[in-house]
Each structure stands twice: as C-alpha cells, then as structure tokens.
Structure 1
Amino acid sequence: MSEHDASPLMRQYREIKRGYEHAILFFRVGDFYEMFYQDAQEASRILSIALTSRDKNSPNPVPLCGVPYHAATGYIAKLLKAGRTVALCEQVEDPKLAKGLVRREVVRLYTPGTLVETEFLSPVESNFLAAVAISPTAKPQPVIGLAMLEVSTGEFWIAEFQGDQAQTQTLDELARLDPREILFAPTARREDRTWLDQMKGIRLCERDPSTFEPERAARLLQEQFHVHSLDVFGCQGLTMGIGAAGAVLSYFRDTQPTAPLDYIRRPRVRRVSDAMHLDSVTIRNLELLKPMGALDDSLSGKPATLLSVLDRTVTAMGSRLLRQWLVRPLIQSDSIQARLDAVGELKDRIAARVALRAALRTVQDLSRLSGRIVLGVAGPRELLALKDSLAALPEIATQLASLVSLHLTEAREAWDDGRDLAALIEQALQPEAPMSLRDGGVIRDGYHADVDELRKVNTEGKHWIAALEAKERERTGIESLKVRYNQVFGYYIEITKANLARVPADFIRKQTLVNAERFMTPELKELEERVTGAEVKLLALEQELFAQLRATLAGHAGRLQEMAGKLALIDVLAGLAETAALNQYTKPVINDGGLIDIRGGRHPVVERLTEEMTFVPNDTVLNLDSQRLQILTGPNMAGKSTFLRQVALIVLLAQIGSFVPATAATIGVVDRIFTRVGASDNLASGHSTFMVEMVETATILHSATVRSLILLDEIGRGTSTYDGLSIAWAVAEYIHDRRTLGARTLFATHYHEMTQLEQQRDGIKNFRVAVQERDGDVVFLRKIVAGGADRSYGIYVAKLAGLPPSVITRAQDVLVQLERPEAAQIAESDLRTEPAAAPLPQPHPLVEEVRQIDLFSMTPLDALNRLADLQRKVTPSSKDAPL
C-alpha cells in the first residue's frame, strides 16, 4: 500500500513510526494498542498473540496485532525481556471532541534503563541507566566519563577515570552498579566499543556524539539544576564525566517527553579514593551478590551469597542500600567506626531494635513512591501506601530518641514525619480506594462538595432506575422484565420473546436478540441522561482532584527522598545488628595500621550451607613485616579456597561497618581486595583458562598497593609443572619484594617446593591444612596450622569422587614407583600389576639430569633458562630464544 493509498489513520501511524524505527510502536486505537507491519509480526511471535491483518480485502493487507490497553503492562514487560524497546503512542485528545482524526503522540518510550513501573522492577535492586563518554584522543592519557541515573528514584552519580587503567576502572564501576542500559557515542576507533561488549546481558545504545560534548552537557546540567557552575556538585576538573551526565539527562528527556525532571537529585561525584575498589572478578569470586554455583542457603532457601546472609532488612530501600555497601566498602577508619558503633548499639539495645524493625516493616518504598508521584503515574493505592508509611515515622523517631551513636543521632536530626502530607491524603482519599483511577470511588465523602452532589445524583439515579423497573413490571404484567445497562447501548428494557405480545405501544425497539428484545421508553431515556451524565462528570472530577493531590505531593518529593535515605540507613544498621546477634558475630577493631589479626574466623556463607556440618574456625595473622605473605599448602578438598575467601569476607564485612564471624578481629584498613581463585575461561574472546588466570594475575601485580589484600589460589596450574611452578614462584617473590607492593597476601598452592621461600624471605611464612590418616583413609581436619604440606592426597580425592577401585589401586602403585629416587630407571615389569596393564613409556635419558638440578637454589629466571637448555638437548633443532 502506497502512502497515497493509505487511510488517514495509517498515514498518521507511518509518520509517527518514522521517529521510532528501532522500537515496537504501541498505537492506541480505541480500547486497544495496535501494532502494524513488521512490529506486528515480531510482537505476535514474542507475545504469542494472533496475527491478523488490516484491510483484508485489499491486494496488500497490512499485518496487524493488538493488545487491550488496560492489560498492556504485561505485554510490554515481555517485550522488554526479549530485548526490545516499546514506544507508547496515546490518543492525546478526546475522540468525542476531535474534529476529524484523533491526535496521537508518543508519550513514553520503554527501555531497560528508564523503567519506573513496579511491575518491571526488582524491589531490592537498583535499575541504573548509564552513559560512557570517551575522550576523542588518547593523548596525553585516555579519559573516560561515567554517569548513572536511577530513573525510579532520581539517584544521579558522576565518575571519571584517567590513565592506562581507565577502561578497567570503568568496567569495575559498571560491575558494581550493574546498569540495565549503557549509552555510548560511536567513534572511529573500534577499540572504543570492543571493551564495552564485555558487559553481557546489558543493552548498549548508540547515541549522537554531540550529546556527550562536555560544554553542551554542562549547559544542560546547569539548566536542569538551576546553578551557574557545576563546581557546587564537586565537578571541578571533570570533562568526560560531565559529558556522560549530559548524555544521560538528554536521553531521559528524549524517552520520557512528558515526564517532569524536578525529582532528579543533584549529581554526586564518585572518586576512586572514596571507597574500597572491588573489581568484577573479586565480586564474582567472593560471591557477594550472585553465587558461582547452584548452592542455596539451607536455612533461608536463598542463593548462597554474602548478601543473602546479611540481608535482614525489612524495606526495599534498605535492601538496595545494603547491596551498594557490599560493593563499595569504606576505607576511612572513622567512617567505618561510626557504622560499627551504630550496629553495636542496636545489637545491645534489643527492645529498641525490635521496635524499630517492627515500625519499619510498615514503611513502603518511599524512594520509588516519590518518583512515581512526581512522574504522574502513581495510583490511588500508592498514595494510600505513602500515607501508611508516613504514619510509622513518629514511632521510629520515638525509638531513635534513646539512642546515642553518631549515625542514629544524625538520622534523628531534622526528622520529618510528614504529618501534613499524611493528613492531606487522609482527607482526600477513600480508605479503600480502588487500584485504578478509572474505576471511580477514589475521593473521600465530604472532601469536595461537587463530588458529594454528583455522587448523590448517581446513587439516587440508580434508585430511580430500580423504581422504573418495578413500575414497568406492574404496568405490563411481565415479571421477567429487566432494566439493564451496557457501554454500547446504555440503559434498555429487556423482554423475552414469550412476552412480546404484552409490550406496550410506547416501547421503542432498540435491538433484537435470539431469545429477547430490547426497548427504550422516553422516561428511561430521560433518566439515562441524568444518571450517565452524573457518572461521567463524577469520574472526570475525581480524576481532576486526584491529579491535583498528586501534584501537591510531588512538590514535597525532596522531603520524601530525604526521609527515604534516613529510613534506608536505619534499616541497614538494624539489619546488620540483627544478623550479628543471630549469627554470633563480633565487633572488629578498625585502624589504619597494617595488621590483620582474626581469631576464630568463620566463612559467613559456608557455615550456613548445612545445619549438620560444624564449621571449623581458624586464626589468621597478616602484617606488613614478618608475615605479609602466607604460603598455604594442603590436600584438595581440605578447605584452602574456603579459608582464603573467609579472610577476604571478614575484612570486607568489617569495612562496610558490619560485625564479623570471629571471636575477635583487628583489621588494618584495606584499599583493595584482589582474588585469583577458581577456574574459568572466556572462549568467546579466544582466552583459555590459563590465559584468564594470567590476565587476572597481571592485573593484580600492576594494581595492588601495600594496603591491598591479595588472595591467590593455585597460580600456574593451567600449564606444565615446571612452567606453573616457575610462574608461581616468581609471582610470590614479586609481591614480597616490591616496595610499592608488599601487600598482605594469602597464596594457596599445590607446589610444595614453594615452601622453601620461607627460608629465603623474611616476610613469608608457611601454613598448611591439617589432615589425619586412619587405616588408609584421610580425614580433613579443616584446621590451618604452621608448616608446609608434602602431599596433596589427590588419589584419595579421586576415590571420593567415585573412580573405579582398579583405577585407584593402579594409581597408588604408579605413585609409589614414581616417588622412588630411581624412578627414572623403573622397568616395565616393576609397574605392571597384571598382564593386561599397559606399560609406561620409557623416560628420556635426560630425566635424571633434570632431577639433579637444584632449581630452588637459583632465581626463577635462571631456572627457566636452565630448563630451556635441556629442551634444546632434547630437540636440537629448536629455535626457541633464551628466556
């Protein structure tokens, strides 16, 4: 169908669709949102709804599908989940008043990062929209700006990263905030986009580069927040960070053209030095937010993560704040101490804690409620939820009055219980108001005289209709006569066909059915006009009064957001106190020294995985002098990885202001936690498990400082024994010896030879996981003791895994032979246990020469060169260059 041949409606559709080519357009037609052409074909497939066509008799019918307007939310959610965006096109004038075609406009563009509807959002997770601005040149050093807007709450952040680590730091910040959508400007350099592709499962949206220009962005931000300079927000010296913030704001204006922007909070600047830096690898390896496996906490049924153990908050706001604390621990000892003092006071003051948590349970999500109110999408039930939430604030203030710790007294200052707002809602709304405004019955009796009058007319009109029905039954003698109503025909009298002979002459036929006839009378028509007119006027007036009430409350959004922040803080502190009391956590000592001293430490997650298992606590001492690097050896499955993670989690818990699972703990503040644990690969990027291991290790060596905590588990295991041992040895020396590094480090390994480093370096100490052998079996004691292990008990672990007994027996025999000094001369008959056993290949004559080399009396580099010399003897044609 050509543009010329199309109907006026379809020409209007095409014109609007041109501005939203990449979105599915929900085009309002009466009581339906209709989709056409390719949109209809895609939507029908994704939504599993019927695909039909418009103008079926036309040579080129237009594909069509549609959904009821009142049920659109569920369908939009399904399209968003499928990775699509949706443009909502509404009728913006009354069809009854329209002169010709009804005017339509797109009033909302649904994208993953701009959602405010509760149906689309997780109550315990933030829903950030991010923008990344990259400097046009990498000289003298690259600069990357990052901005984050939480549309549902108005939370607004700006950050900027410079230097060689800018990309890594940006990716780490993105991992911590976990946005749903990232805006970026395409550039000529392909590498500017490639690294962003690492953000899996997040919608990447290209935007016009001009929206990222710092000068233009600065003007937009100054206009938005009514300031002459962005320096008042701490933006001094920022360039690309301001560009990213402007791009976020511009995108929000474009996608929500009818939304007011006054509720967006003034931006806050995040700097690298503000909090402990956790990268995406550490967040994953420590299982802070998501489990690496499928284990669940047996007591709560939640995924086995640190968040699931800690989260005893009772409000959605508190849960989201706790999640932010976990990925951004504090590094200022006085700030940490203030949180610990508040948690300690609430832990000890049981009655106050119980009362606070009981009151907080009645508080709804004030942060998102206020956002929906400002955006004009909050319904009657949400305003009633606001009123009920405000009603709890006086009790919370009463409980805070007796508490003395800094955070709790600061929360009590300038307390605003919103009594005036609660009273306003109480006066205006019916206590049992419906979910939807279009259902009517929202405004309370006595609030507005015109509402009361129209409601009276409406009520009396229904009595008049009932009286008319009784009157007509008596006049006609037809007992089955009924006065009915529907939206198409209005009021009518329905009479069955068996009684048609008794229909009076003044009845006017309106419709014929299979078993009945419908009629109208002049009296019924007059009543209909009075009753229906009152209903329409009443609904319109109620909607107008509700909109006025919502607008009044929107003017107080700043007050509501301020109280939402205080309530979230109180909720998190009380939740941490509850966790400490229930799980027998202790208050750590925090200082700026270099000592980490943990007594009776436990893994907060593992200790809860099963009620039957008794967790074995362990001590840990790390300092910057005599014991800054521990080499931990011991069998597989004995608990080395659990111990490493346990130490990191205790440090992290202490620095978010939580009590810790230990009998005592002194924590010298850590600026970063690095982890290299577990095996993973990235085949999509061409990286093997070993390459991933080496990249993560390189990141640690380049980024760690003397104040960092490093956890290394089985470095070098992804290659040959000598390669792996050499790398592990060199890495341990590098961490220990570098003055700019020297970080506190736990180094778990199966290379028992590395225990010799204790004699070569003053700051290295050996520890092992204790085991006990009984009648050929091995008991893992889960206890960390001084000294190095000399065996890995791998065959025993293989036995536990269920390898056939014959394989286990054969492996034991081979191990015995290989451990003999004369193993290189083992004859085939010495290894054979049965005639069918395959012989081992004869060792190369140079094997004994290799065994006689004392690799550990030389540096790792000399050792590698010596091994390379031997390789050349085996393969004289080798052209490998000396190492």
Structure 2
Amino acid sequence: MATIHERHQTVECFVQTENQPTVNQIAGALSHMKNIPKVLQTMSRKATINDWRAILEFVYYCVKISNVSQEIFVGVSPVIQEIQRYFAVEELMNMGTNINDVLDFDESVIEGRCVVKRNVDEELDSLRMNYHGLDVFLSEIAKEISVTIPSDFTSIINVIYFPQLGYLITVPRNPEWKSEEDYQLEGLTVQFSTDSTVYYKNATMRELDEHLGDIHGLIVDREIDILQALQERIIENSQFLVTCSDLCAELDILVSLARVARLHNYRRPTMVEGTILNIMNGRHPLQEMVVDSFVTNSTQIGGMDQNSAFAPTVMTGANTDSRSSETGDARVENRVTILTGPNSSGKSVYLKQVALITFMAHVGSFVPADSAVVGITDKILTRMQTRETVSSIQSAFMTDLQQVALATRMSTARSLVLLDEFGKGTTSTDGAGLFCGVIEHFARLNEEDRPRVLATTHFHELFENDLMDLSLPISLYTMEVYQQPDCMEATFLFR
C-alpha cells in the first residue's frame, strides 16, 4: 500500500500544470538513456565506442535530471527525493569528465575503434608523432635506396609502412614480369606481390623493423592500457550506476503515467484496505480512443459507502436488502453482481474497464474515471474469451471450465472475478445450470472468503424460472436499450 501511495503521489505531482516544463525536460533527458546494466555487462568484456558514449550520455543526463528536478515546486515526489538523495552529482560529473577527457569520439568513429585523445599520455603522443612523421622519413629512406638499385627503378621506388608487416620497399610491377625470377632486383628480397606492385625488404628495412618497430601496434597497445584503466574505474562504480539506472527507469514510468493521465483526464484513485470497488463514471482506457463518444459507467461492488452517488439502472431481487429504502442511503454491500443485456450493448467492455481500472490503480497509475475507491486486490481472475484453435488439445468449453475452476479455487475476499457469459459453450440447459451453480457458490461463501464477482449472462431462464436463489446477496443489473413502440430496431445506450 505504501508503494502504491508513493506512486500516486508522484503522478499527482507530475500532472500539475506548474510542473509541466520541468516534467518535459525530465522526459527529454530520459529519452537519451540506454540500458545501462546491459552496457556495463558488455563493457566488462570489451567496451565499444558506443558503450562509452552510452555511459557518457547517461551520467550527463543524470546530472541534468538531478538539477532540473529541483525546480519541481508543487507537490512532493518520493522518487525525486530518492534521486536527490542517491545521485551524487560530483561523482557523476567526475566520471563524465574522465571519459570525455580520454576518448576522442570523432576519431574513434572514423577508425572504427576506441581512440585516445592527444595530451592524455606523453608516451602515446611521442609514438603518434613518430608515426605521423613516417611519410617524410620514409621518403628520405627511399631516396637513399634508389642510389643502390638499377637506374630504371630510381624514379618509381617507394618505402611504406604496413602494420604487422613492418617497412617495405615497393616497386610497380612491370607487365613483362611473368615469374618470380623476373621480380628479383639486386640487393632486394621479394616478400610478396600483387597485380600492380611488388614488395621487397633489404637490410635497411630490417634495421627499421628492429629499431622503430611496429609503431601502429605500439600505439594501439598503449591506448588499450589507458582505456583499460578507465574501464576499471567505471566498473568499480557499476553498482552506483545501476542504482541510478533503476531510479531513472522508475522515474521514466511515472513520468509516462503522469503524461497519459494529463492527456486523457485520468483521476487519482483512493486505495483502501477493504474489499470495496467504487468507480464513478469509469471509462475503458483503450475503447474510448477508438469511438467518437464513450458512455461512462459507474461500478460498486462490496463495501459500504454512505456518501456514494452510485445509482444502478435496474436493481431487483435480494439486493434490495443491501439498499436502505427508508433512509435513501446509496449503500451496496453485495459482492456478487450479474449483468444482462443484448449482444453489442457494452457488457464485455464494461467488465474489461472494471478490470483495467483496478489493475491501473494497483500499478500506481491514475484511472479513467471521475473517482475510484479501490480495495487492495490480490488477483484478477477472468473467464472473458476463448480463442478457438486446432492446435489446442482440448475444446473451448473445457478451457472455459478450467478458467472458472481456477477462479473458484484461488479466489479470496481480496480477489476480483470476472465471468463473461460463462456456460454458453455447451447446451443452454447445462450452461445455465453451470452458471447458476458457480454464482451461488460465490454468493454462499463466508464474508471472509467471498470475492468480488462481476458476471454477464444471456440465460434469462435463471430468473424467469426462478432457478437462482435470489435471497442470496446478489445484485442484478441490465444494459439500457431504447426501443420505440411498434419498431423492431433497438438503440443501445451503453449504460
């Protein structure tokens, strides 16, 4: 209950008009965040430039959220208080500064690997200086070598550096060279050839290999050492980052619930420990989006509410015992409700909206209703619809029976049971008997065990032939239909 209240309190804070600029900034910051626990998991093996960018953006937007959230001045948000308590801004900024000072993101994208910035490590800068000065140095070497080879190749000889292969002398391949013997040049040893070039080594190249070495490899190794040290610092703070990520995930959900509540005029429900379910002018959160106008409906199952304005359309039978005609109290204590009405009159949508409003209230969302008092619910057990499929080894009716059997076994006083036309999958006499038996089973349970039950049915013979014991605490309702005299067509009012 405490957790649900905290979520409702946060959503209520976020829907306030005065807080909308701040909430929008928070939502914008959250949209840039990646799955940090997953990034940290992959980073422990091998960090890519995208992983580093994800961590850098995460710490940056965490700092932004921490700063922006201080501008919320209407209402109190527990999750914001948690963020202010756990987001160590200085620590986050230090992590972001370290990453930003070490990694060159633009160069990393070009080279397809993680590249360290200049002026981070003197040894690395020295290696890079030698590497970038190779072109001029190798041109001078090429001039010296050209003096020692036949004059035919003096103008076309070149010296290059290949990572892993070292320093090589290149000569354009003569079209007349057919075999390896043709490639031989005095003082040079053939290494390999391509369609256009022959590559050689001599004593000078081997001397360069020995003294200068594989500069590119040394650069990469040094960068790996620097990044490894940075990576270890990040991994040391992984638990702190995961905690921040969890808070951001919770904040993301609550911001989303608040924006939807504001957009569709949802209201904060009142959560109570009892078994009451009192919804005033409830709506189906999805159905109302696909129709031109949605007819609201109220619901009251169980509990006792002296001030309730709930008034059912039709109410007959034993439920008059739970409504005082003398005082006019709008009190409904019955926990079992049966709803009848023709097809397409809105019965199934009504059942689903009751379940969805109950569910939304429990996850911390505002609900599509003018008001709602929702008792803590442990289960929502349903027999709503069964999909026919040849892949199932049992009939649709057997599936219905299993669902209802599960509801009878698992339900408690805190449960909500929804039955949509149970029994229609078999003969009408058997179906009516099954439906009647299940409803009377729930109605005869002790107060300590009886769940809140909302059921729809087409079995009018239950009432016409007095098959059901209406002395039990059962409320009866029907969907309103308007029909003009001497007219076969009916208009559904969805009430």
Which bin holds the TM-score, normalised by the shorter protein? 0.7 to 0.9
2:476 matches 1:769? no
Pair 1:713–1:527, CA change in 2 (3 A): same
Equivalent position of 2:59 in the other structure? 390
The 5 A counterparts of 1:439-450 are: 442-450=115-123
Match of 2:77 among 405, 409, 420: 405
Deviation at 1:339, TM superposition (A): 0.9
The 5-angstrom pairing of residues 333-352 of structure 1 reads 334-348=2-16, 349-352=19-22
Q: Is the 8 A contact 1:478 1:502 kept in 2?
A: no
Structure-2 change in CA distance of 1:726 and 1:531 (3 Å) = farther
Residue number in structure 2 paired with 1:601:
282
Query: Of the two structures, which has the highest relative contact order with CA contacts closer than 8 Å and spacing of 6 or more?
Result: 2
Q: What residue is the counterpart of 1:266 in the other structure?
A: none
| Partner amino acid, structure 1, of 2:87 | W
SS of residue paired to 2:475? strand
Find out whether 1:495 has 2:172 as its counterpart.
yes
Q: Given the superposition, is the C-alpha separation of residues 605 and 513 from structure 1 closer, same or farther in structure 2, using an over 3 Å criterion?
A: same
Distance 2:196 2:481 in 1: 89
- The equivalent residue for 1:746 is 454
Distance 2:79 2:193 in 1: 75
| Aligned partner letter, 1:493 | T
* Aligned equivalent of 1:429: 103
Amino acid at match of 1:653: M
Aligned ranges 1:443-462 → 2 under 5 Å: 443-462=116-135
Consecutive unaligned residues in structure 1, runs of 5 or more: 1-331, 785-883
Please say which of residues 632-641 and 574-583 is displaced more in the overlay. 632-641
Q: CA deviation at 1:712?
A: 0.5
Distance of 1:467 and 1:733 partners within structure 2: 102
Q: Which residue of 1 aligns with 2:399?
A: 692
Q: TM-score, normalised by structure 1?
A: 0.47
> Counterparts of 1:124-135 in structure 2 under 5 Å?
none
1:59-96 deviations in Å (ceiling 9; x for gaps): xxxxxxxxxxxxxxxxxxxxxxxxxxxxxxxxxxxxxx
2:343 maps to amino acid = N
Residue matched to 2:438: 731
Q: Separation in 2 of the partners of 1:547 and 1:489?
A: 26
Query: Separation in 1 of the partners of 2:470 and 2:337?
Result: 13
Q: Which has the larger radius of gyration?
A: 2
Aligned pairs for 1:669-688 within 5 A: 669-680=376-387, 686-688=393-395
Q: Distance in 2 between matches of 1:521 and 1:422?
A: 49
Q: 1:701 offset after TM fit, Å?
A: 0.7
Q: Corresponding residue for 2:235?
A: 554
* Corresponding position of 1:357: 27
Shift of 1:647: 0.6
Contact 1:598 1:620 in 2 (8 A): yes
With the length of structure 2 as denominator, give the TM-score of the two structures.
0.80
C-alpha separation in 1, matches of 2:213 and 2:114: 15
C-alpha separation in 1, matches of 2:364 and 2:458: 35
What is the 5 A alignment of 1:610-625? 610=290, 613-624=292-303
Task: Indicate how the Cα distance of structure 1 residues 628 and 518 shifts in structure 2: closer, same or farther if over 3 A, else same.
Answer: same
Change (3 A) 1:513 1:659: closer
Whether 2:343 is the aligned partner of 1:636: answer yes
State the secondary structure of the residue aligned to 1:352.
Answer: helix
Alignment of 1:641-660 (within 5 A): 641-660=348-367
Alignment of 1:29-44 (within 5 A): none
Query: Offset at 1:415?
Result: 2.5
Report the AA paired with residue 401 of structure 1.
Q
Contact 1:380–1:433 under 8 Å retained in 2: no
Q: 1:409 to 1:738 in 2, by over 3 A?
A: same
Residue type of the alignment partner of 2:220: L
What are the within-5 Å matches in structure 2 for residues 306-325 of structure 1?
none
Aligned-pair CA distance for 1:780: 3.6
Residue 506 of structure 1 deviates from its aligned partner by 4.0
The question of 1:414 aligning with 2:86 is answered: yes
C-alpha contact (below 8 Å) 1:379/1:435 kept by paired residues = no
Name structure 2 gaps, 5 residues minimum: 304-331
After superposition, residues 831-850 of structure 1 pair within 5 angstroms as: none
Equivalent position of 1:706 in the other structure: 413
- The alpha-carbon deviation at position 472 of structure 1 amounts to 7.3
Match for 2:461: what amino acid?
Answer: E
Question: Cα distance, 1:407 vs. partner?
Answer: 3.3
1:249-282: CA deviations, max 9, x gaps?
Answer: xxxxxxxxxxxxxxxxxxxxxxxxxxxxxxxxxx
CA pair 757-648 structure 1, distance change in 2 beyond 3 A = farther
Offset, 1:589? 1.8
CA distance in structure 2 between the aligned counterparts of 1:573 and 1:455, rounded to whole angstroms: 50
Provide the secondary structure at the position in 1 that maps to 2:227. helix
1:637 Cα deviation (Å)? 2.9
For residue 471 of structure 2, what is the amino acid of its counterpart? R
Structure 2: which amino acid aligns with 1:494? Answer: V
2 CA distance for matches of 1:492 and 1:777? 96
On the 8 A contact 2:280/2:299 being kept in 1, the answer is yes
Among 216, 219, 222, the alignment partner of 1:535 is 216
Q: Alpha carbon RMSD of aligned pairs, Å?
A: 3.2
SS in 2 for 1:675: strand
Instruction: Give the alignment of 1:64-463 within 5 angstroms.
Output: 332=1, 334-348=2-16, 349-373=19-43, 375-403=44-72, 404-417=76-89, 418-432=92-106, 434=108, 442-463=115-136
Structure 2 counterpart of 1:458, one-letter code: Y
1:368 Cα offset (Å): 2.2
Question: Are the counterparts in 2 of residues 633 and 769 from structure 1 also a CA contact under 8 Å?
Answer: yes
Contact 1:758–1:765 (CA under 8 A) maintained in structure 2: no
Alpha-carbon contact 2:436-2:462 (below 8 Å) kept: yes
Q: Which amino acid aligns with 1:416?
A: A
Instruction: Write the distance in 2 (CA, Å) between the matches of 1:751 and 1:763.
Output: 19
Residue 365 to residue 470, structure 1, CA distance change in 2 (3 Å): farther
Deviation at 1:769, TM superposition (A): 2.7
Corresponding residue SS for 1:341: helix
Q: Check conservation: 1:478, 1:499, Cα contact below 8 A.
A: no
> Which residue does the alignment assign to 1:206?
none
Aligned to 1:585: 266
1:574–1:680 Cα change, 3 Å: same
Hey, what's the Cα distance between the residues in 1 that align with 2:468 and 2:270?
29
CA–CA distance in structure 2, aligned partners of residues 776 and 447 of structure 1: 87
Alignment partner for residue 372 of structure 2, among 662, 665, 668?
665
